[in-house]
Amino acid sequence: MEHDNLIACHECDTLFKKPQLLGSRSVARCPRCGATLYRSAYRRLDGISAMTLAALFTFLIAQAYPILELDANGITSQTTLFGALVALWNEDMQIVAVMVFCATTLFPLTELVALLYVLIPIRSGYVPAGFNQVLRAIQFVRPWGMIEVFMLGVLITIVKMVSLARVIPEAALFAFGALTLMFAVVVMFDPRTLWDIADELTARRARPTPRTAADSAAAAVGATLTGSASGQPAAPHQG
């Protein structure tokens, strides 16, 4: 018995053979208790693609602009995330600098770019090269992106420094705040569902199926024409 094509209802534990969802707006429900088994991931592709693209632009703003400006006795200084990393490196804290770089820059950027690399072609209906490797890379880097932890650290620093100097929040601080929320939405999307879509696309490419009523009619007319041309009508009228 094949196990990879089975799905269990999470409410009543009934086991079903996983049906293939057709069309862009379909939901598989348990016929016993009515719980939603799973949804077609197609309908979420547009939303998650837009959110990933928006997160990428917000990420660039967060990296490019200063996070904070400190004003102590008339002396002002401001820093970007990159400036803070350089300062950590120069203070002989290279390991911390590398860890902060990976958790706040390298891994989140890898995840966003990799997601866009697979999402945009899948939306257009084809599977990009290296699809499996890119999805595995997303699943590998996902737990290591810690923008929310960094955001928490910055907020604690602001609270502690308010007594020492005037702290002025800059553009990147708001960008990091927005990015934290955007990443919360992006990580809700399970990249494994893309494997199902890719399988469906590959199957559809191997055996093209008519998608609309007009296509079905055209396919039927085409079949009739080919049948007549070869001299073998599918349903003879006179007998």
The residue ranges that bind Zn ion (CB under 5 A) are: 9, 11-12, 14, 30, 32-33, 35
Residue type, 18: K
Shortest approach of Zn ion to residue 23 CB, angstroms?
A: 23
Q: How far is the CB of 16 from Zn ion (least distance, A)?
A: 9
Of residues 10 and 204, the one with the C-beta less far from Zn ion: 10
Q: In this complex, which beta carbon is closest to Zn ion, that of residue 35 or of residue 86?
A: 35
Shortest gap between Cβ of 13 and Zn ion (angstroms)? 7
At 39, give phi and psi (nearest 5°): -110, 155
Smallest separation (angstroms) from Zn ion to the CB of 27: 14
Closest separation between CB of residue 36 and Zn ion, Å? 10
Contact in structure between 106 and 81 (CB atoms under 8 Å): no
CA 168 to chain centre: 33
Q: Taking the complex as a whole, how short is the minimal distance between the CB of residue 38 and Zn ion, in angstroms?
A: 12
Nearer to Zn ion, 11 or 215 (CB): 11
Amino acid at 233: P
Chain position carrying tokens 């490797």: 133
Which residues are CB-contacts of 124 (< 8 A; sequence separation ≥ 6)? none
Residue (12 or 171) nearer to Zn ion, CB: 12
When the beta carbons of 14 and 79 are compared against Zn ion, the nearer one is 14
Question: Dihedral through CA 20, CA 23, CA 26, CA 29, nearest 10?
Answer: -30
Q: Tell me whether residue 27 or residue 218 sits nearer to Zn ion (CB atom).
A: 27
Look at residue 112 and give its three-state secondary structure: helix
Residues 6+ apart with CB under 8 A from 33: 9, 11, 12, 14
Q: Which of 116, 108, 139, 107 is nearest to 53 (CA)?
A: 116
